[in-house]
Amino acid sequence: MKMSMREHSTPMSGFITKGKGVVLFCCLLIIFIIYSQYLKYMTSFFSVGNLTATTIGKPRVKFLLNETLNFGARPQVQTYTSWKAPIIWERMFDPNLYDQSHVQHQSSVALTVFAVGRYLDAYLNTFLISAEQHFMLALPVTYYVFTDQPEKVPNIKLAPKRNMKVMKVEKHSRWQDISMMRMKTISEAIETEIRHQFKYVFCFDVDQEFKGRFGTEALGDSVALLHAHFYKLPKDMFTYDRNPKSKAFMETGDYYYHAAIFGGSWDNVKKLADACYLSIMDDKINDVEALWHDESHLNKYFWLHKPSRLLSPEYCWDRSIGNNRDIEVTRLIWAPKNYVALRDA
């Protein structure tokens, strides 16, 4: 009588079968442990940044911190764009996480500001002192002050790893030219010096005062600011340049951006400044001047080259605006202005 395989099996064969199962289980366990450790390492690595090579061969931090943003924290306002760029509002981010990540990867910031004519006496001291209290306090910062009166720049006390460079510029006869020609000056400063020392550049108007944290959450590859007076208005009320003869001409756009603040990695800021300057010079050749000068050209640039990060009006608020329900933290405010006295100087 034939015996089945089951009947023919011996205790030894059963032991061998069980042994193979144990070996297989141990191998799978080891693979699982190794893979878990790999995932843990990669998560810790990418949660703070991913190093990529720049054109000069030095590492630059490309942050993936957007994944930590809480886009649902502010349901009453828009927190991201149609191209998925975040719009930064209070309560969306963890300030400690951002600061620690940027410190770990040795981020540094160059801040440019122009103080020409009477603007120096009226605003520069307040701007610099308040910046020392609130701007990128976790990082090394150098203020690049462009002025026609270097001897009048206030000598304020700076914290460790904070510096100031005063650079003389020509005072143009028209304030419009001062505003527009700053793009050329910013580009030249980036090319000759800033690009070799800093990862990020932020460009500010001087007639502003910091009032709250303006920190590393604002850093990104290309950063634009939503204009406080327009962020709630329909697009047909945006004051784009409507003159088809101007290089700044726009029929429509995404948002209305405020030129009082813009920034990003040094290479992206240089691209913006170069493009705006070339457009401004083309307009001059054709005897055209954009409606809001460099701001009109900046809006055109950001329409064609979408910013990767938008700052909410919390980062530049005008207190004359009656409805401030959206503004939980005032980080920077417009200073009172007397344009007649300032611009006739």
CATH of the domain at 287: 3.90.550.10
Q: What is the pTM of this model?
A: 0.81
pLDDT tens, position by position, for the chain (345 residues)?
A: 444 333 344 444 454 455 555 566 666 666 666 545 544 433 333 333 333 333 333 334 444 789 999 999 999 999 999 999 999 999 999 999 999 999 999 999 999 999 999 999 999 999 999 999 999 999 999 999 999 999 999 999 999 999 999 999 987 666 556 666 899 999 999 999 999 999 999 999 999 999 999 999 999 999 999 999 999 999 999 999 999 999 999 999 999 999 999 999 999 999 999 999 999 999 999 999 999 999 999 999 999 999 999 999 999 999 999 999 999 999 999 998 776 667 554
Q: Are 14 and 135 contained in the same domain? A: no
Question: What is the set of active-site residues?
Answer: 295
SS3 content of the chain, % helix, strand, coil (to 5): 40, 20, 40
Binding residues for Mn(2+): 205, 207
Q: Are 32 and 146 contained in the same domain? A: no
Binding residues for UDP-N-acetyl-alpha-D-galactosamine: 114-116, 119, 205-207
52, 105, 167 from 263: Cα distances, Å:
20, 19, 19
35: alpha, beta or left? (left if phi > 0; alpha if psi -120 to 50): alpha
Q: Are 69 and 40 contained in the same domain? A: no
Q: Are 255 and 239 contained in the same domain? A: yes
What is the C-alpha to C-alpha distance for residues 129 and 210, in angstroms, rounded to an integer? 9
What is the C-alpha to C-alpha distance for residues 32 and 209, in angstroms, rounded to an integer? 54
Report yes or no on 179 lying in a domain: yes
Instruction: Give the list of residues 6+ apart from residue 255 with CB closer than 8 angstroms, or none.
Output: 81, 224, 226, 227, 230, 231, 238, 310
What is the C-alpha to C-alpha distance for residues 238 and 91, in angstroms, rounded to an integer? 28
Q: Are 85 and 185 contained in the same domain? A: yes
- State the number of CA atoms in the 13 A half-sphere of 130 facing the CB: 20
Range of the domain at 276: 50-343
Q: Are 28 and 165 contained in the same domain? A: no
Contact between 65 and 50 (Cβ < 8 Å): no
23-44 as b/e, with b when 16 or more CB fall inside 10 Å? eeeeeeeeeeeeeeeeeeeeee
78, 109, 237, 245 from 241: Cα distances, Å:
25, 32, 12, 10
Binding residues: 114-116, 119, 205-207, 227, 239, 295, 318
Pull the structure tokens for residue 131.
């910046």
Q: What is the pLDDT of residue 137?
A: 98
Q: What is the pLDDT of residue 107?
A: 97
Q: Are 31 and 152 contained in the same domain? A: no
Q: Are 277 and 225 contained in the same domain? A: yes
The total number of structural domains in the chain stands at: 2
- State the number of CA atoms in the 13 A half-sphere of 22 facing the CB: 6
Q: What angle do CA 132, 206, 290 make, to 5 degrees?
A: 145
